[in-house]
C-alpha cells in the first residue's frame, strides 16, 4: 500500500508515536489500517475496557474519560492522538482540540459523505451507538447530506459487548446483526455505514445479512490516511525503507517492526488474547489504572 503523502525520512530513533484510544478492542480495526499504511510508525494503544462500552455512558462522562486518556498518551510520548472511537469522537473531539490546541487529533465520524455519493436508491443506512447519533458531529453530517438522500439510523446496543466478548461468529451475534439490519433493509438501503469501530470485526456477518446489493463502508482506511497526512505535515513520519546515506541505488529492505505499546484499564491477558485473535499479533499488554482525580497512570 503506497501512502498518499510524501514520506519524511525521519530516523527510527526520533520516531513520534501515534496515540490511539478506544473504549475497548474496536479501535484495533483502525490500528490495523494504520499498521498497514505506516508499518514502521510506533503506536501506543489504550483500551479503556473498565468503562466499556462508551455508547451507554453520558456524553459528559465520556469527555472526562477522553481527556484523561489523552493526557496519559501524551505523557507516554504520543505526538498525534487518534480517537479510534466514534462515540468518543462525537462526545469529546471539539473539547479535546480546545483543551490541547497544540496537539493534532484525528477523530472518527460516520462515513456518510461517500455513502451519499455512492447510493443509487437514495437510501443510506448508518449503524452506530446512541451517543454517536446524539453528538454534534453526526448532527453536522445530517445538516450537510440528509437533504440529498434519506439517511436511516439504527442503534446497535448489543454489538459492542459481543465484539468485546470475542463473539464474532456466534449464533447470538448473527441474530443480533440480522435484527438490527432488518428495518434498514426494509427501507431498501444500498449503502451501509459502519459508525462504530467495533463493527468491522463483525463484517462477515453484516455482509451476509445485508446481501450483495448493499455496499458496506468502513471509515478506518480514510482515518489511517489522515493520520499519515498529519504526521507528514509535522515531519514526524519514519522512513519505511533503509536508505544509504550517500543516496546510492541499492536494494532497499523494510525496517523491523516498531515497538508498539498496548495498555488496557482492565485485564491485560484478556487484551493480549484480543490482539492475537483480531490482529494476529503476539504482544505484551500493560495495565493502566484510573486515579480518583480522573488521571490515568501505568500500573506499577
Tell me whether the CATH fold assigned to 12-108+220-245+252-298 matches the one assigned to 112-217.
yes
189 three-class SS: coil
* Catalytic-role residue among 85, 189, 231, 278: 85
Q: What is the pLDDT of residue 246?
A: 44
Domain boundaries, the chain: 12-108+220-245+252-298, 112-217
Q: What is the pLDDT of residue 6?
A: 53
User: Would residue 85 show up in a list of annotated catalytic residues for this protein?
Assistant: yes
pTM assigned to the model: 0.90
Q: What is the pLDDT of residues 27-36, one digit of tens each?
A: 999 999 999 9
Q: What is the pLDDT of residue 231?
A: 95
State the distance between the two ends of the chain, measured CA to CA, in whole angstroms: 39
Tell me the CATH number of domain 112-217, given options 3.80.30.20, 1.10.3720.10, 3.40.50.1860, 3.30.499.10. Answer: 3.40.50.1860
What is the SS3 string spanning the chain? CCCCCCCCCECHHHCCCEEEEECCCCCHHHHHHHHHHCCCCCEEEEECHHHCCHHHCCHHHHHHHHHHHHHHHHHCCCCEEEECCHHHHHHHHHHHHHHCCCCCEECCCCCHHHHHHHCCCCEEEEEECHHHHHCHHHHHHHHHHCCCCEEEEEECCCHHHHHHCCCCCCHHHHHHHHHHHHHHHHCCCCEEEECCCCHHHHHHHHHHHHCCCCEEECCHHHHHHHHHHHHHHHCCCECCECCCCCCCCCCCCECCCCCCEEEECCCHHHHHHHHHHHHCCCCCEEEEEECCCCCEEECC
Q: What is the pLDDT of residue 293?
A: 96
Q: What is the pLDDT of residue 238?
A: 83
Q: What are phi and psi of 234, to 5 degrees?
A: -90, -5
* Catalytic-role residue among 196, 206, 224, 231: 196
* pLDDT tens by residue, the chain, 300 residues: 555 555 555 555 668 999 999 999 999 999 999 999 999 999 999 999 999 999 989 999 999 999 999 999 999 999 999 999 999 999 999 999 999 999 999 999 999 999 999 999 999 999 999 999 988 889 999 999 888 899 999 999 999 999 999 999 999 999 999 999 999 999 999 999 999 999 999 999 999 999 999 999 999 999 999 999 999 999 998 866 544 444 444 334 344 456 899 999 999 999 999 999 999 999 999 999 999 999 999 998
Alpha carbons 17 and 243: distance in angstroms, whole number: 21
Q: What is the pLDDT of residue 42?
A: 96
Q: What is the DSSP string of 242-298?
A: ---TT-------BPPPP--EEEESS-HHHHHHHIIIII-----EEEEEE-TTS-EEE
CATH no., domain 12-108+220-245+252-298: 3.40.50.1860
* Nearest C-alpha neighbor of 159 from the set 46, 280, 23, 288: 23
Q: What is the pLDDT of residue 15?
A: 83
Alpha carbons 278 and 163: distance in angstroms, whole number: 10
Cell of 101: 490546541
Q: What is the pLDDT of residue 118?
A: 96
Q: What is the pLDDT of residues 95-119, one digit of tens each?
A: 999 999 999 999 999 999 999 999 9
User: Would residue 8 show up in a list of annotated catalytic residues for this protein?
Assistant: no
Amino acid at each position: 500500500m503506497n501512502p498518499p503523502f510524501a514520506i519524511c525520512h525521519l530516523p527510527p530513533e526520533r520516531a513520534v508515536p501515534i496515540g490511539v484510544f478506544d473504549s475497548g478492542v474496536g479501535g484495533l480495526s483502525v490500528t490495523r489500517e494504520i499498521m498497514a499504511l505506516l508499518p514502521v510508525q510506533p503506536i501506543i494503544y489504550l483500551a479503556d475496557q473498565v468503562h466499556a462500552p462508551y455508547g451507554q455512558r453520558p456524553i459528559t462522562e465520556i469527555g472526562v474519560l477522553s481527556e484523561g486518556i489523552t493526557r496519559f498518551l501524551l505523557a507516554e510520548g504520543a505526538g498525534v492522538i487518534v480517537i479510534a472511537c466514534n462515540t468518543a469522537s462525537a462526545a469529546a473531539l471539539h473539547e479535546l482540540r480546545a483543551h490541547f490546541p497544540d496537539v493534532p487529533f484525528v477523530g472518527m465520524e460516520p462515513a456518510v459523505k461517500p455513502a451519499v455519493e455512492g447510493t443509487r436508491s437514495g437510501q443510506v443506512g448508518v449503524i452506530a451507538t446512541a451517543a454517536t447519533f446524539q453528538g454534534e458531529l453526526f448532527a453536522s453530517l445530517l445538516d450537510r447530506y440528509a437533504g440529498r438522500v434519506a439517511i436511516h439510523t439504527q442503534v446497535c446496543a448489543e454489538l459492542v459487548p459481543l465484539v468485546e466478548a470475542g463473539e464474532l461468529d456466534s449464533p447470538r451475534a448473527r441474530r443480533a446483526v440480522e435484527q438490527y439490519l432488518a428495518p434498514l433493509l426494509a427501507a431498501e438501503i444500498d449503502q451501509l455505514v459502519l459508525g462504530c469501530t467495533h463493527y468491522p470485526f463483525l463484517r462477515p456477518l453484516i455482509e451476509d445479512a445485508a446481501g450483495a446489493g448493499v455496499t458496506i463502508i468502513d471509515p478506518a482506511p480514510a482515518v489511517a490516511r489522515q493520520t499519515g497526512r498529519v504526521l507528514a505535515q509535522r515531519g514526524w513520519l519514519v522512513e519505511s525503507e533503509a536508505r544509504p546515506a550517500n543516496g546510492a541505488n541499492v536494494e532497499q529492505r523494510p525496517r523491523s517492526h516498531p515497538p508498539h505499546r498496548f495498555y488496557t484499564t482492565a485485564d491485560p491477558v484478556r487484551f493480549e488474547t484480543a490482539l492475537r485473535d483480531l490482529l494476529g499479533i503476539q504482544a505484551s499488554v500493560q495495565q493502566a489504572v484510573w486515579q480518583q482525580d480522573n488521571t490515568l497512570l501505568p500500573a506499577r
